[in-house]
Amino acid sequence: MTTGVSLTDGGLLCERGGFSVDPWKPVQRAVITHVHSDHAREGSGEYYCSSESVELMKRRIGPDARVHGVAYGEKFILGEAAVSFHPAGHILGSSQVRIEVGGEVWVVSGDYKRDPDPTCLPFEVVLCDHFITEATFALPIYQWDPTEEVARQIHEWWMQNRTDGKASVLFCYSLGKAQRVLAELLRFTDETVYTHGATENLTDAYRKAGVQMVSTQRVGEVTGTKKSYVGDLILAPPGSRRVSLDEALWGL
């Protein structure tokens, strides 16, 4: 009998625990590392995730989904497995999943990062016998500028566009990336940033979790006639690039 975690056509399965981690298709019991759509999918019977992920899960999977939130570090039993969530440092609520079965400990990392991020708890090293890791940017060719420098560049670009009489539209993932930009911009400004509806919905969940960010307002909620966004910064998901800017800003 499988003692830990195995790869199946539906994703990572803990047979003796009776659950899958971030399953690729609906299962009866899903344990979720974080709420990005390639990890948390609709259709499963019930979901287990970190307490900080519950609000995001409800907004993404649906309000009627059976979602069980568990505090970081708190062990709970599924079948023959002792399971716990530990911070992954990726987005709000992101977790590594620690699974202990038959005296062996497996850790499934999900996406994670080790750099500081004001929107989530830092990555925690978890001792284990087997570590199943994501490795999206593991090759050494991927080298990133310091986060503060990236935020500075965004702010300077925004201010230059204002001087030039332009609106600034920055495309970034509506969950995680957008909120990190909004939090990092606090280093340089307290101005309101305008957001696409999908981004604002998730940003509101971050605010309810106590994450400090610059103020935001959903595009299209400005009263009166259509607002000219010249000089403003707008955050929108990458998918909105497929439509015209006017549709992206006013059609949603």
pLDDT at residue 78 tops 90:
yes
Provide mean pLDDT across the span 144-168. Answer: 96
Domain ranges for the chain: 6-132, 147-250
pLDDT at residue 146 tops 50:
yes
pLDDT at 115: 92
Q: Say which CATH architecture domain 6-132 belongs to.
A: 4-Layer Sandwich (3.60)
pLDDT at residue 244 tops 80:
no
Provide mean pLDDT across the span 132-154. Answer: 93
Query: How large a percentage of the chain has pLDDT more than 90?
Result: 82
pLDDT at 1: 47
pLDDT band at 242 (very low <50, low <70, confident <90, very high): low
pLDDT at residue 33 tops 70:
yes
Model-level pTM greater than 0.95? no
For every residue of the chain, DSSP letters joined together read ---S-EEETTEEEETTTTEEES-SS--SEEE-S--STTTS-TT-SEEEEEGGGHHHHHHHH-TTS-EEEE-TT--EEETTEEEEEEE-SSSTT-EEEEEEETTEEEEE--S---S--TTSPPP-----SEEE---TT-STT-----HHHHHHHHHHHHHHHHHTT--EEEE--TTTHHHHHHHHGGGT----EEE-HHHHHHHHHHHHTT-----EEETT-SSSSPPP-TT-EEEE-GGGGGS-HHHHHH--
pLDDT at residue 36 tops 70:
yes
pLDDT at 225: 54
Residue pLDDT, tens place only, 187-213: 999 999 999 999 999 999 999 999 999
